[in-house]
Amino acid sequence: MAKGFRDGAGLMHASFELVRRDPALLWFPVGSASCLALIAGFWIFEGAWLHAVNGPWFFYVPLIVVALYSLFFVGIFFNVALAAAAASVLDGEEAGLRDGLNIAWSRLGAIAGWAGYSLFVAFLISLLKSKASRWLGTAAQIAWSFATIFVVPLIALDGLAAEGARRRSFQLAKENWTAETGGLGALRVALLVPGFLFYVAAKLLFGGHVHSPGAKALLGFVLLCGLALAVVVFAVELYRASTGGDLSRGAVPVAS
Q: Indicate the domain borders of the chain.
A: 2-249
pLDDT higher than threshold 70 for residue 220:
no
Question: Residue 159 carries which side chain, given as an amino acid letter?
Answer: G
pLDDT category of residue 167 using cuts at 50, 70 and 90: very high
Are 100 and 82 contacting, i.e. CB atoms less than 8 angstroms apart? yes
pLDDT higher than threshold 70 for residue 179:
no
**Ranges 105-109, 136-140, 222-226, 248-252: which has the least confidence:** 248-252
pLDDT category of residue 204 using cuts at 50, 70 and 90: very low
Please report the pLDDT score of residue 16 as a whole number.
61
Average pLDDT value over all residues in the chain: 74
Write the burial class of residue 81 (CB in 10 Å: 0-12 exposed, 13-18 middle, 19+ buried).
Answer: buried
Read off the pLDDT of residues 21-77 as tens digits, 9 standing for 90 and up: 666 777 888 888 888 889 989 998 988 888 888 878 778 888 999 999 999 999 999
Please report the pLDDT score of residue 140 as a whole number.
83
3-state DSSP assignment of residue 96: coil
pLDDT higher than threshold 90 for residue 196:
no
Which residues neighbour 65 within 8 Å (Cβ) at sequence distance 6 or greater?
119
Please report the pLDDT score of residue 161 as a whole number.
94
Predicted TM-score (pTM) of this structure: 0.74
Region of residue 54 (phi > 0: left; psi between -120 and 50: alpha; otherwise: beta):
left
How many Cα atoms are found within 13 Å in the side-chain-facing hemisphere of 158? 20
